[in-house]
Structure 1
Amino acid sequence: MNVGSLYRERYERVLFPVAAKLQEFLQGILSEMPRVDRISTRPKSVERFIGKANATTKDGKPKYVEPLHQIQDQIGARIITFYKDDVTRISDEVQRYFHAIESKDLVPENDWEFGYFGNHHVLILPPDVVDQSFDKDLVPNCFELQIKTLFQHAWSEANHDLGYKPGLQPLESDELRQLAFTSAQAWGADRVFNELFAKRSAVRQAD
Structure 2
Amino acid sequence: MDDVAWSGFVEALDKGMPDVEIFMKNVHEYFLTHPSVRVHGKSVIHSMKRRMKDLSHLRDKIDRKSTPKRIITPDNVFEQITDLAGVRILLLFQDDFTIIDRSIRQKISSGDWELAEKAKAFTWDPEASEFFKKFEVEVNQRDTSYTSVHYLIKPRKDAPVCCELQVRTLFEEIWGEIDHKINYPHPTESVSCREQLRVLSKIVGAGSRLVDSIQRSLLNESGQEPKGGNS
- Superposition TM-score tier, normalisation by shorter sequence: 0.7 to 0.9
Q: Is the 8 A contact 1:79 1:147 kept in 2?
A: yes
How do residues 96-175 of structure 1 correspond to structure 2 at under 5 angstroms?
A: 96-98=106-108, 99-100=114-115, 101-108=117-124, 113=143, 115-125=145-155, 140-165=160-185, 170-175=188-193
Alignment partner for residue 33 of structure 2, among 28, 31, 56?
28
In the alignment, the residues of structure 1 paired with residue 161 and residue 101 of structure 2 have an alpha-carbon distance, to the nearest angstrom, of 20
Query: Who is 1:61 aligned against?
Result: 68
Shift of 1:62: 6.0
Shift of 1:125: 2.4
Alignment partner for residue 197 of structure 1, among 215, 218, 223?
215
Q: Report whether the alignment pairs 1:43 with 2:63.
A: no
Q: What SS does the corresponding residue of 1:76 show, helix, strand or coil? A: strand
**AA paired with 2:123?**
V
Shift of 1:154: 1.4
Cα pair distance change 1:31/1:199, threshold 3 Å: closer
Shift of 1:176: 0.3
The runs of 5 or more residues in structure 2 that have no matched partner are 1-6, 109-113, 127-140, 225-231
* Aligned residue-pair number: 191
Identity %: 17
Q: What SS does the corresponding residue of 2:64 show, helix, strand or coil? A: coil
In the alignment, the residues of structure 2 paired with residue 195 and residue 114 of structure 1 have an alpha-carbon distance, to the nearest angstrom, of 25
Taking only aligned residues, the RMSD between alpha carbons, in angstroms, comes to: 2.9
Alignment partner for residue 72 of structure 1, among 45, 62, 82?
82
**AA paired with 1:47?**
S
**AA paired with 1:205?**
G
In the alignment, the residues of structure 2 paired with residue 117 and residue 175 of structure 1 have an alpha-carbon distance, to the nearest angstrom, of 18
**Residues 74-99 of structure 1: per-residue CA shift (max 9 Å, x gap):** 11111111111112321222221133
Query: Who is 1:7 aligned against?
Result: 13
The runs of 5 or more residues in structure 1 that have no matched partner are 128-135
